[in-house]
Amino acid sequence: MNSKHHIAGHTLTLLRNGEEYFPRLLAAIAAAKTSIYMETYIYAADHTGRLFSNALQSAARRGVVTRLLMDGFGSADLPQQWIDEMNAAGVEVLWFRKEVGRFSLQRYHLRRLHRKLALIDGHTAFVGGINITDDISDGFKAPRLDYAVEVEGPVVHDIHVSMRRLWLLVAWTHFHRQGERDKVRQLHRVNSQQQVLFVTRDSLRHRRDIERAYLAAIAGAQREIIIANAYFLPGRKFRNALIAAAKRGVRVVLFLQGKVEYRLQHYATMALYNELLHSGIEIYAYQASYMHAKVAVIDGQWATVGSSNIDPFSLWLAREANLVVQDVAFAASLQADLLSEMQHRSQRVIPSVWRKLNVFNWLVMHVSYILARLLIGALINYRMRDDI
């Protein structure tokens, strides 16, 4: 894949899976001269993790300001020895809500850093859904299906502002630096409408920005909507938007997880299939490996690539980041890859076959959905502080 596009003063390279993403990011780190910022949900102590650890240490030793921000739950298994090695080399490492003791289901603890971002020299950024972990899951020959974008151009300023702001917020939370808190207040910037747009979800002023971007694009769709999403459990408003689009003649295609990764989530999502299929929406289940993509293409001209799933945890609780691109060539490149994966590595859910599932399967799906919604409702309504 690895397709390059020039859009409104930007250069965008669409990257598929870690096999394209990791070499590009490692090369950028090796070429860095002044600064490196990285954010990730999962940083694994595996071969890929070692490659990046070595690269970050090398950059820090040659005088590059090197800052790594990891989620305290997603990266909790990273050995302290790895952190010590990076610190000794000069890499600054911070944790977003590092868990102390037993993990709880309180809303505060479920506010995770789910963004996967990198910024090199304030000039080149990487935005997507790919974690720092080996590309192929146990038991599969194919890698997880996922995407990222390497981007240069004006939007990188917005990415820089967002990443530096979050770093300072976390640093202040850890070290109570009043001076840095003042800097945080000065760094906030509201994105403006543009052809390449960086969209975030946080607990402050951008709680619903990613969801609104999706809903606006769906509402304006005239021909086709393709959404590929790893963990798909939308609320009623999102489902109604998709159903309304299908009813007005738009082809609506959902490309979803086919393999069972998290049972409650998986079967709760399947409980929605009947309503969606009945409305004329096409559903394809990815079979080659785990689906990890969070992308969409609408009318062959609007596209998004990022970290946000379409489920309550991404849309209401986690910190997320997506790139929205309005460009025919970029959208066509992503669309072609999705259609190829649907044709060759996926199975279409046929409505007539779906309706013939036995009573036990229906019971499992609907009980899973009820449990998931009860859990989500309890978490969303639980009053906790929104500090970072």
Strands 251-257 and 282-286: parallel
What's residue 98's pLDDT?
82
Considering 109, 121, 134, 259, which one is annotated as catalytic?
121
33 as an active site residue: the answer is no
AA identity, residue 45: A
278 as an active site residue: the answer is no
Considering 114, 160, 206, 266, which one is annotated as catalytic?
114
**pLDDT cut 70: percent of the chain above it:** 88
134 as an active site residue: the answer is no
Strands 3-7 and 302-306: unpaired
344 as an active site residue: the answer is no
248 pLDDT exceeds 50? yes
366 as an active site residue: the answer is no
**pLDDT, mean of residues 92-98:** 92
Residue pair 210/172 in contact (Cβ under 8 Å)? The answer is: no
Distance between CA 40 and CA 129 in Å, rounded?
9
Mean pLDDT for the chain? 89
Distance between CA 165 and CA 171 in Å, rounded?
10
What's residue 388's pLDDT?
41
Q: What is the pLDDT of residues 99-117, one digit of tens each?
A: 654 445 444 456 799 999 9
Q: Which domains does the chain have, with CATH numbers?
A: 3-187 (3.30.870.10), 203-374 (3.30.870.10)
What's residue 119's pLDDT?
98
Considering 294, 311, 327, 337, which one is annotated as catalytic?
294
**pLDDT cut 90: percent of the chain above it:** 73
Alpha helices by DSSP H, the chain: 17-31, 47-61, 80-89, 107-110, 155-175, 178-187, 209-220, 236-247, 263-270, 273-278, 312, 328-344, 351-354, 359-381
The predicted model scores a pTM of: 0.90
Q: What is the pLDDT of residues 263-316, one digit of tens each?
A: 999 999 999 999 999 999 999 999 999 999 999 999 999 999 999 999 988 887
123 as an active site residue: the answer is no
Considering 5, 292, 327, 337, which one is annotated as catalytic?
292
Considering 10, 116, 160, 206, which one is annotated as catalytic?
116
**pLDDT, mean of residues 162-176:** 86
Q: How far is CA 142 from the centre of its chain?
A: 20
